[in-house]
Amino acid sequence: MSDFLISAVSVVFVLGFMILIHEFGHFAVAKWLGVRVEQFAIGFGKRLVGFKRGETDYRINALPLGGYVKMSGENPMEATSDDPAEFMNHPRWHRFLIAIAGPAMNILLAITLLTIVYMVHYETVAYLTQPAVIRGIKKDSPAAKAGLLPGDRIAKLDDLENPTWEELKPKEWLSPNQVLAVTVQRGDKLIRTTVTPVPVTANQVGSAGWYPEAPVVIGSLERDSPAKKAGLQEGDRIVALNGQPLYSIEAMIESLQDSKDQPVDLSVDRAGQTLQFHLQPVFASTEDPKERRWRLGFQSKEVTQVSQLPFSQALALSLEQNRKNSLLLVELAKRIAQHRVSLKAVSGPIGIAQEAGYAAQQKGWTPLMELSSGISLNLGIFNLLPIPILDGGVILLLFIESLMRRDISLRVKERVYQAAFVFLVLFAAVVLFNDLVKTIPGLAERLP
List active site positions: 23
Cβ atoms 129, 166 nearer than 8 A: yes
The burial of 157, by beta-carbon neighbours within 10 Å (0-12 exposed, 13-18 middle, 19 or more buried), is given as buried
Torsion of CA 385, 386, 387, 390, to 10 degrees: 60
